Structure 1
Amino acid sequence: MASAPKQPQLPLFFNDLMPLNSKDHKNFRTRSVDSAPWLSKAHAIPLTVDEFVQSQRHFPIVFSSGENPLPLALMGLNEGVNTFVDDAGKVTEAVYIPAYIRRYPFMLAKLQQDATDLSLMFDPTSDAVGEFEEGERLFDDEGNTTDATKRVLEFCQHFEQAAQRTQAFLTELKDNNLLMDGEVAIQREGEEQPFIYRGFKMVDQEKLRELSDEKIIEWHKNGILMLVHAHIYSLELMRTIFARQAQQGKAPQPNAQASA
């Protein structure tokens, strides 16, 4: 081909991706950090279906717009606003932290587009991985993976398995034409016009009620119905998150749009 190949877009939070290996990273360690500046401006966090029940107690769960929607936990309603993290990146209260956040700076990915296996990758710009004096070693003196690396790998593998279950769930929603463009209007006292949030998808409850008894029974048995209800119940938290923004002095201007 005459044109150069396009650089693949990096996932949310990642500035770079590098395969972890014992030759180049023999002296690397992973350490805990008490702040995540990269999280302070993130309002919509990818979510897996394994997390719906826990997350719906804390965040609205919506679906991204576009042809391939993904579940998102809204930690804020407006872009650049995270109501659970301060400007320094410290979590301000006890709240469920989505696995996508806890996985960083590691992930599983293909080294080549045509590869069949996934390799453990990391973001070399992260403060949590590097040649530090403190933290847990990723490789021992012989170059073998340590328990710390094995735990990271196991967590990333579980995340990928949950991502596959999430895709199966979304396929069911799309095959049954249940996703619709979302819109939420929040009327704030003292304002003439409501705040309108769009740019996301949600389950069409009218079409949900029209599903056949056979499908409802099937979804009840395989757990899909529980996930749908968790999503629907969580939408009540839109107003709670809006109120948090107002309390923190981050209230939007009238007619703001959510960009989930």
Structure 2
Amino acid sequence: MASAPQAQGLPLFYNDLQPLSSDLHGNYRVRVAETAPFLARTHAVPVTVEEFPLIQRHMPIVFSAGDEPVPLALMGLNEGTNVFFDADGKLRGTDPIYVPAYVRRYPYLLARLRPDSEELSLCFDPTSDTIGAFDEGDALFADGKPTELVQQILKFNEEFEIAGQKTGAFLKELSEMNLLMDGEVSIQPDGAAQPYIYRGFRMVDEAKLNELRGDQLRKMQQSGMLPLVYAHLFSLGLVREIFARQMQQGNVAPQPAPAA
């Protein structure tokens, strides 16, 4: 149901990375994208804890399976399915939704150019059709110097990195408190012979949460951790809404045949 970005190689969405340079990209411009084709077949997007309050209104928030879980916003319940964006990467309908910062960051990324270096450099995916030597669009450099646009892009990416560190600390606390469990959602549509069951993700164990001591809960409240946990738990109710959208769009995966 939900898988984290690959630990090796390039992150989700990125096909290549190049450091942004005035020498090599002095004539590059950025143009507005009308669609996000890279999202068309993406069902789960990484998110940061700072986004939980906004995301929980629109999408379920779950955690990826594995030793290093990552918070994910579900845009679909099956691989290759996105109920919010169509096959061309165009937003479906007219209702506004919150687009995760991970999506809005693309095609840029702060990355280490050398494994032994702690310095992060602003890079971009050269395969993106939003950045290049275009005649139209906003310039990235003027007189060999970064424009205000580059400064804004850099600031957004730096803030994203800081939010990522906070998210890592949040997940570490959840794991150390042993509050994560394997998740399962069962949905029984009218007329279906058997329920649709979704697994492959992790979620907070409400029973263990309710068993915490008062001092532990106070610590979580004071640190801002407890509201984030409840934002995650409240958002799980949207799984059925995502399922309903998939049914409406004809994108529900076939059920396995009943056992004899």
Instruction: Tell me the SS of whatever aligns to 2:85.
Output: coil
Q: For 1:225 and 1:133, locate their aligned partners in 2 and report how far apart those are by CA, in whole Å.
A: 50
Q: Say yes or no: does 1:88 pair with 2:88.
A: yes
Q: Say yes or no: does 1:249 pair with 2:250.
A: yes
Could you give the per-residue CA deviations for residues 198-222 of structure 1, whole angstroms, max 9, x where no partner exists? 0000001111111111110111111
Equivalent in the alignment of 2:212: 211
Q: Say yes or no: does 1:140 pair with 2:142.
A: yes
Paired residues of 1:108 and 1:121 also in contact (CA < 8 A): yes
CA displacement at 1:8 relative to structure 2: 4.6
Q: For 1:8 and 1:220, locate their aligned partners in 2 and report how far apart those are by CA, in whole Å.
A: 35
- What does 1:227-242 align with in structure 2 at a 5 Å threshold? 227-242=228-243
Q: Say yes or no: does 1:200 pair with 2:210.
A: no
- What does 1:24-35 align with in structure 2 at a 5 Å threshold? 24-35=24-35
One-letter amino acid of the counterpart of residue 207, structure 1: K
Instruction: Tell me the SS of whatever aligns to 1:27.
Output: coil
Uncovered stretches (5+) of structure 1, i.e. residues with no partner = 1-6
One-letter amino acid of the counterpart of residue 157, structure 2: C
Q: For 1:255 and 1:89, locate their aligned partners in 2 and report how far apart those are by CA, in whole Å.
A: 30
Paired residues of 1:48 and 1:71 also in contact (CA < 8 A): yes
TM-score between both structures, scaled by the size of structure 2: 0.94
State the number of aligned residues: 249
Could you give the per-residue CA deviations for residues 198-251 of structure 1, whole angstroms, max 9, x where no partner exists? 000000111111111111011111110000000000000000000000011112
One-letter amino acid of the counterpart of residue 228, structure 2: L
Equivalent in the alignment of 1:124: 126
Q: For 2:81 and 2:8, locate their aligned partners in 1 and report how far apart those are by CA, in whole Å.
A: 27
Q: For 2:31 and 2:108, locate their aligned partners in 1 and report how far apart those are by CA, in whole Å.
A: 12
Q: For 1:8 and 1:232, locate their aligned partners in 2 and report how far apart those are by CA, in whole Å.
A: 30
CA displacement at 1:36 relative to structure 2: 1.2
Paired residues of 1:196 and 1:255 also in contact (CA < 8 A): no
Instruction: Tell me the SS of whatever aligns to 1:202.
Output: strand
Q: For 2:196 and 2:116, locate their aligned partners in 1 and report how far apart those are by CA, in whole Å.
A: 46
Paired residues of 1:194 and 1:255 also in contact (CA < 8 A): no
TM-score between both structures, scaled by the size of structure 1: 0.94
Instruction: Tell me the SS of whatever aligns to 1:236.
Output: helix
Could you give the per-residue CA deviations for residues 142-175 of structure 1, whole angstroms, max 9, x where no partner exists? x111001000000000100000000010011001
Q: For 1:42 and 1:255, locate their aligned partners in 2 and report how far apart those are by CA, in whole Å.
A: 23
One-letter amino acid of the counterpart of residue 164, structure 2: A
Paired residues of 1:46 and 1:72 also in contact (CA < 8 A): yes
Instruction: Tell me the SS of whatever aligns to 1:161.
Output: helix
The RMSD of aligned alpha carbons is: 1.3
Give me the identity figure in percent: 54
CA displacement at 1:78 relative to structure 2: 0.7
Q: For 1:105 and 1:132, locate their aligned partners in 2 and report how far apart those are by CA, in whole Å.
A: 16
One-letter amino acid of the counterpart of residue 154, structure 1: K
Q: For 1:112 and 1:189, locate their aligned partners in 2 and report how far apart those are by CA, in whole Å.
A: 56
Structure 1 runs, 4 residues or longer, greater than 6 Å off: none
Q: For 1:177 and 1:109, locate their aligned partners in 2 and report how far apart those are by CA, in whole Å.
A: 32
Q: Say yes or no: does 1:72 pair with 2:72.
A: yes
Q: For 1:39 and 1:221, locate their aligned partners in 2 and report how far apart those are by CA, in whole Å.
A: 36
CA displacement at 1:254 relative to structure 2: 1.7
Equivalent in the alignment of 1:154: 155
CA displacement at 1:113 relative to structure 2: 1.1
Paired residues of 1:182 and 1:201 also in contact (CA < 8 A): yes
Q: For 1:255 and 1:203, locate their aligned partners in 2 and report how far apart those are by CA, in whole Å.
A: 28
CA displacement at 1:69 relative to structure 2: 0.3
Equivalent in the alignment of 2:109: 107
CA displacement at 1:117 relative to structure 2: 0.8
Instruction: Tell me the SS of whatever aligns to 2:186.
Output: strand
Instruction: Tell me the SS of whatever aligns to 1:119.
Output: strand
Q: Say yes or no: does 1:225 pair with 2:239.
A: no
Q: For 2:231 and 2:206, locate their aligned partners in 1 and report how far apart those are by CA, in whole Å.
A: 13
Equivalent in the alignment of 1:57: 57
Q: For 1:208 and 1:44, locate their aligned partners in 2 and report how far apart those are by CA, in whole Å.
A: 25
